[in-house]
Structure 1
Amino acid sequence: MTAARPTGTGAPGYTETWPCEPESARRARLLVSAALNTWGADELVDAGTCIVSELVANAIDHTPCRLVRVTVDRASNGVVRISVADKCRATPELGRPGDDEEGGRGLLLVDAMCWRWGYDRKPWGKVVWAELREGRRA
């Protein structure tokens, strides 16, 4: 069980910070699942947990980060935003792997499962996010 802390202001949300290590992807899946279930958005759990797993894995595999911060926000009009922040300023790019390549498909999967995704550059790094919409397919 994960001990998620609700955000203090604005739209309902949950956030946690963990070490940049593979175990954090499991914790992030638990956080997303708990938030979505709390909000009654059960239909988004499978996509949300897969998306956060990929975003955390990208931070671990492609940045020299020591910590990763995961946030799940319920914006408005049934939109849920899943964000992963790290202190690396390198921006994510959709992969174009060949048929025989094993990697490079994470963001392609995120792109296929969400309504929209993107990233925000920050002075200290970046936040990569994906949005899901309740009651609608991606």
Structure 2
Amino acid sequence: MGEGAVVPSDPEEHVVSERLPPIMGAQRRARDVVADACLRWNLAHLVAPAALIVSELVANAAEHAHTFMTLEVAHRGSHLYLAVRDGTSTPPVQREPPPDMVVPGGRGLLLVETTATTWGWDLQSGGKIVWATLVLDS
């Protein structure tokens, strides 16, 4: 894992987090972090959907929040929890995709909604967390 990654010492905790800069290139690092975590936890079948979800969450934070963000990936019970915390309290807005589907952008949260088991967002002190879950058993 890269610098800034935090892996807990308790192997039962199954949490990985990493601070990311507010740039579009952060998506690649987020996908790598998620893939590494899924493979370490024997969840190879979740690499693709989890990578898609974090890529969209990180892209949204970079584009709209313009603040450093923290990616968290956690193995919690029967779910994989994916979250991005940024430094703005502005809620995420799920837009309807353009009818012609030619205009780029605007489909990030729609992709998250269709891929994730559940998703949502919560206000936090100094910002918000946008999160999604995937069921471990496919």
How high is the TM-score relative to the length of structure 1?
0.90
* Letter of the structure 2 residue corresponding to residue 96 of structure 1: E
Structure 2: segments with no counterpart, 5+ residues:
none
Q: What is the CA RMSD across the aligned residues, in angstroms?
A: 1.6
Instruction: Identify the match of residue 112 of structure 1 among 87, 109, 114.
Output: 114
Aligned residues: 134
Hey, what's the Cα distance between the residues in 2 that align with 1:18 and 1:74? 20
The offset of 1:123, in angstroms, is 1.7
Hey, what's the Cα distance between the residues in 2 that align with 1:61 and 1:91? 13
The offset of 1:2, in angstroms, is 3.4
Identity among equivalent positions (%) equals 34
Residue equivalent to 2:88: 88
Alpha-carbon spacing, 1:26–1:130, altered in 2? closer, same or farther (3 Å): same
Q: Deviations over 1:24-56 (max 9, x none)?
A: 111110000000000000000000001000000
CA contact (8 A) 2:22 2:69 kept: yes
Q: How do 1:20-99 and structure 2 match up within 5 A?
A: 20-65=22-67, 67-76=68-77, 78-99=78-99
Hey, what's the Cα distance between the residues in 2 that align with 1:118 and 1:7? 25
Structure 1: segments with no counterpart, 5+ residues:
none
SS in structure 1 of the partner of residue 71 of structure 2: strand
SS in structure 2 of the partner of residue 43 of structure 1: helix
CA contact (8 A) 1:32 1:72 kept: yes
How high is the TM-score relative to the length of structure 2?
0.90
